[in-house]
Amino acid sequence: MQKTIASQQRLSPWQVILPISLGTGLSLLGDTSLYTVLATHVEEVGILVVSVGILLSVNRWVRLPLNGPVGYLIERWPRKPTFVAALFLGALSTYIYALTTGFWPLFAGRLLWGIAWVGIWIGGNTMVMDISQDGDRGRWVGVYQISFFAGAGGGALLGGLLTDWVGFHNAMMVNASLTLLGALIALLALPETRPLLSKSDTRPEARRPPLPTRATTPLRRVSTTRGELTSASALFAVNRLAMAGFFSATFGLFLQQTLGAEFVMLGQPVGVATLTGLGLGLNTLISLLVTPAIGGLSDRARTRWIVAAGGLLPGALGFLLVTSGAPLLIMGGLILISITSGSNMNLSTALVGDLGAQSRQGRRLGWLFTVGDLASAIGPPLAFWMLPLVGFRGVYWFAAGLFGLMSAVAGWWGKRAGQRGGIGTEH
């Protein structure tokens, strides 16, 4: 006999999606503010420029040994306590940015943020897997990932504006308080989603909470290959390397070098921090709008891989346009890069969900995010190492090439899946 928490309180997906989205989005404000302003405010923060790459990547390095074990354990632990505790830890890390100066306090804060994000992102995505099914997984993953892009965009915009207006430390104090608010909302409003099974019922499908009746189209299944799972992880890794590693870490310096310390917009001078925040905010806003649409399209498509292949091409072109240095082309490139970023984030997660049994979703997600964290940890120091050698054009052209190569890989898998007559796969 199956016994689940969800059977005691019939869950609507929105009961889960709303609190985890608010918590996740608000938790990102401090982190993305740092990406926007740290490189251009090193004197106020009390660090050297050479340490920027270290501080922007150490939170990812600390996640590498943690994603796998947390993914494994979250399959066995209640989801809510892990997720909520991670949100409170994220608030603490941002308060450290607000209240201290110098390299080592910031280094400690970044370590704490890395630990917090493991629980937030794996916990949140595992809860989405709990409430979704094959025919609507892309949609619900997309809806949840709106929070990622909203938090990233809001942090970039809010961090840039507030830093120019009230200074770095006051801006971080606001971000920390908003993160704490998100943790309190999740604590009070989020239901538990982890099913509790009797020992006699080990069916993978029994691990899903019952959902309100909804018409979905189950994805047809074919045999899983390790190569396909590896390619889904590579899709996520390429996105993290290009976006979180190269683009976010260097965009402020690119604008400062290309447009100057101030840029006249609508007759008014605009500081580089504000301009960087506006650019990264636009990038994430468009990704926010794209990701649920892409997810829904992939649910209806013959194969998610074909959607992924097409979604990578705008980003490749976008990086090439940004390197022109012309303001209008930079804007056009930002829009195209944003489309690819939203597509990659959604489809890589949904593909891993398709490829893994429900009872192993935590481990699959842990592996996916470990690969992504490795790529994004390597990205900032690699970008700052490349800049003296090849300049911004070389760094962004390299990112464009990675998107183009991944598009070819995704297209190959899409062709194979189409020939076999299926979208998703499972063991």
List Cα–Cα distances, 353 to 134, 173, 348, 423, in angstroms.
Answer: 8, 37, 9, 12
Instruction: Delimit the domains of the chain by residue range.
Output: 13-190+224-421
For residues 168, 174, 180, 181, the Cα torsion angle rounded to the nearest 10 degrees is -160
Question: What pLDDT band is residue 189 in, cutting at 50, 70 and 90?
Answer: very high
Question: What pLDDT band is residue 50 in, cutting at 50, 70 and 90?
Answer: confident
> Which has more pLDDT, 197 or 152?
152
pLDDT above 70: residue 415: yes
Residue 155 has a pLDDT of 84
Taking residues 396-407, report their average pLDDT: 96
pLDDT above 70: residue 198: no
Kindly state the percentage of the chain with pLDDT values over 90: 39
Yes or no: say if 190 and 144 are a contact pair by the CB < 8 Å rule.
no
Question: What pLDDT band is residue 144 in, cutting at 50, 70 and 90?
Answer: very high
For residues 407, 412, 413, 414, the Cα torsion angle rounded to the nearest 10 degrees is 80
Mean of the per-residue pLDDT values of the chain: 82
Of the ranges 49-53, 219-223, 354-358, the best mean pLDDT one: 49-53
Q: How many CB atoms neighbour CB 271 within 10 A?
A: 18
Residue 209 has a pLDDT of 43
pLDDT above 90: residue 178: yes
Residue 120 has a pLDDT of 96
For the ranges 169-183, 355-369, 413-427, the lowest mean pLDDT is seen at 413-427
Gap between the Cα atoms of 348 and 237, Å rounded = 9
Question: What pLDDT band is residue 130 in, cutting at 50, 70 and 90?
Answer: confident
Taking residues 133-151, report their average pLDDT: 84
Residue 293 has a pLDDT of 87
Yes or no: say if 147 and 24 are a contact pair by the CB < 8 Å rule.
yes
Taking residues 118-145, report their average pLDDT: 87
Question: What pLDDT band is residue 268 in, cutting at 50, 70 and 90?
Answer: low
Residue 23 has a pLDDT of 97
For the ranges 90-104, 212-226, 282-296, the lowest mean pLDDT is seen at 212-226
Look up residue 208 and give its two tokens. Answer: 């899903």
Taking residues 234-249, report their average pLDDT: 90
Question: What pLDDT band is residue 201 in, cutting at 50, 70 and 90?
Answer: very low
Residue 203 has a pLDDT of 38
User: CATH fold of 13-190+224-421, please?
Assistant: Growth Hormone; Chain: A; (1.20.1250)
Gap between the Cα atoms of 414 and 303, Å rounded = 6
pLDDT digits (tens, 9 = 90+) for 337-353: 999 988 888 899 888 87
Angle, to 10 degrees, between the axis of helix 29-37 and the axis of helix 272-300? Answer: 130
pLDDT above 50: residue 147: yes
Yes or no: say if 263 and 269 are a contact pair by the CB < 8 Å rule.
yes
CA atoms within 13 A on the CB side of 209: 26
Q: Nearest-CA neighbor of 111 among 375, 377, 396? A: 377
pLDDT digits (tens, 9 = 90+) for 269-322: 667 667 777 777 777 778 878 888 888 888 888 788 999 999 999 999 999 999
pLDDT above 50: residue 216: no
